[in-house]
Structure 1
């Protein structure tokens, strides 16, 4: 599978050390399967007058050795998981988490929920109309080293 990562630098040797904490799926190396999504995300670097790259990789993790959490929709499980990760309370160990991105439209809803302005039920009703843009968060260094191969970079 081909995956993409937007950055202001070439990332030919990815790691989890440079990840920020409290992201959607916790600390990890984030990728997408949609090149257009990575290019759109890379535009933020151009707006800051920085270099912008889409780094391209292949992921080969087709065995049962890895502990993977896969969210197929913006549902209660996804919302609870993201809430726990963003607050630093997520304690389950996964090599990779796959699921929807909290994009601009989704983030407004989950921020309202996290801040107590809407209930979980209202948040889930709003989210059910959103089609997830999938992100891959590789959380283990071992999986990064064994399964993700850098191919090339595209400068925007």
Structure 2
């Protein structure tokens, strides 16, 4: 199991890839990182862009990497 992190201005309990913005660096998707500090920093950036009332939020997900590999999912 590994933990993956997503930084935003809102909690994301269940990620939906197709709802992501289309005009971003690597295309539409739901971006995660293994680095908690990176996600926290990004959450602060996004919250600042949203305005005074927005708060930085860190969402954490556990991924069973072995289960993903055994089911031949793409990375």
Same topology, TM > 0.5: yes
- 1:17 and 2:18 are equivalent in the alignment: yes
* Displacement after TM superposition at 1:22 (Å): 3.0
CA distance in 1, matches of 2:15, 2:4: 13
Pairs aligned (count): 68
More strand per residue: 1 or 2? 1
Q: 2:74 aligns with which of 62, 67, 80?
A: 67
Gaps of 5+ in 2: none
CA distance in 2 between counterparts of 1:22 and 1:63 reads: 32
Matches of 2:7 and 2:30 in 1, distance apart?
A: 11
Deviation string, structure 1 residues 17-46 (Cα, Å, up to 9, x no partner): 321113232211101110000111111204
Aligned to 1:51: 55
1:84 matched residue in structure 2 = none
RMSD: 1.7
Q: Which runs of 5+ in 1 are unaligned?
A: 69-156
